[in-house]
Amino acid sequence: MKLTLNNAVTQVEISGIRQFSYLVRDTPGACALTIGEPDLNTPDAVKEAAKAALDDNDTHYPPGNGYTYLLEAISRFEETAHGLVYAPEEIVTTVGATEALSIALSAILNPGDEVIIPTPAFGLYEALVRLRDGVPVFLPTEDSRFQIVPEALAAAITPRTKAIVLTSPNNPTGCVYTRETLEGIHRILRDKPIFVLCDDVYRALCYTEDYHSFAEYADMRDRSIVVQSFSKPYAMTGWRLGYCMADRPVMSRIQVLHQYAVTSIPSFVQRACVTALGLPTNDIAELFRKRRDYVYRRLRAMGLEVEEPQGAFYMFIDIRKFGMDSVTFCTRMLKEGLVGLIPGIYFGTEGFMRLSYCYSDQDLKEGLDRVERFIKSL
Ligand code: PMP
């Protein structure tokens, strides 16, 4: 008897980032600069709110999209802090930004639809598109300082283009799209039936005053889908909480998918989400900005080519001059230099590697010393 599975699913493998991270973890004595989450604990006030909710037996099925008080809190927060106007009915709380991206793509993609993914990119997008029988169309940005070039975007669009993913600040580059870039993208897309998936999960970790989300273009609100997460700004990665916002007709479909996928997020975490939204994020942003400055200085002093990131907690380092592909380079650096960085190819871009600075000053110094020694040994 021959059993067949879903063809799209059998073609997608477990993320290369995870596999390489496990290799680093399992290499004795290795120092990792791989992880993509803040090395901080969830703030006490957030934990206390969840504990109190448990003690109050807030443990029953909540409404599918989230408690009304949470949807209202998100709606208020987005408008007052970020100028994005979404009614509570236009929001769904999700199992991290991951679920938000998953159901948003499910809601819009038919088989064969193309999704433009600027690369380097977080690997989840390609996998999600393929899992829905969509076609990822990659738009390289490594030769334009990771900014999207409007002409290149225009050339990537076909009659089958259904969506584009915009990630700013970006994983893995830390790039923040400039006003000029956003204007250029808007000029190309404004009269086209193409959805814009704004993955803004690193928005709170921004080191420039001039941050704007594409979602601010109100004339494209009918095609914009915003994805947010509690993971990074509040050190809540393990809570698995995020949300998605979109214009009513699109959101009503996303909410149906959410209901049949997970019913709802857990009940007793929702008060904690409101508490989190009330917390300032300047301190965490300042902490990562200082680390960014240190790591950037060190890498430049080693003679490595790297763009100064304006957000998130990653750097995407050019290793093309060493004449090795990124997996060979990173594997050798791990084995010989005992320091782990993620090969750029896992983000769709050869000739680079990703460093994460979610580590203590001491660990960053040790990791960078090892990178320096390895490079000198070549
Ligand atoms: N988008 C980007 C760009 C990310 O880097 C990540 C996590 N690494 C996510 C989405 C998913 O975040 P969450 O923990 O909210 O699922």
For 118-133, the pLDDT digits (tens) are 999 999 999 999 999 9
Distance from C-alpha of 365 to C-alpha of 377, rounded to nearest angstrom: 18
Reduce the DSSP state of residue 140 to 3 states and report it: strand
Which of 171, 177, 200, 269 gets mutated to test ligand 1 (max ligand atoms within 8 A of its CB)? 171
What's the mean per-residue pLDDT of the chain?
Answer: 97
Asked if residue 343 has its Cβ within 6 Å of ligand 1, the reply is: no
For 265-295, the pLDDT digits (tens) are 999 999 999 999 999 999 999 999 999 999 9
What's the pTM value of the predicted model, to 2 decimals? 0.97
Bridge partners of residue 163, in order along the sequence: 115, 195
- Which among 271, 310, 262, 355 is positioned nearest to 65, based on CA atoms? 262
The residue whose CA is least distant from atom 5 of ligand 1 is 171
Bridge partners of residue 244, in order along the sequence: 92, 227
Asked if residue 136 has its Cβ within 6 Å of ligand 1, the reply is: no
Q: How far is the CA of 153 from the centre of ligand 1 (A)?
A: 24
**Beta carbons within 8 Å of 310's beta carbon, 6+ residues apart:** 169, 174, 175, 176, 206, 207, 208, 211
For 172-211, the pLDDT digits (tens) are 999 999 999 999 999 999 999 999 999 999 999 999 988 9
Atom of ligand 1 nearest to the CA of 229: 15
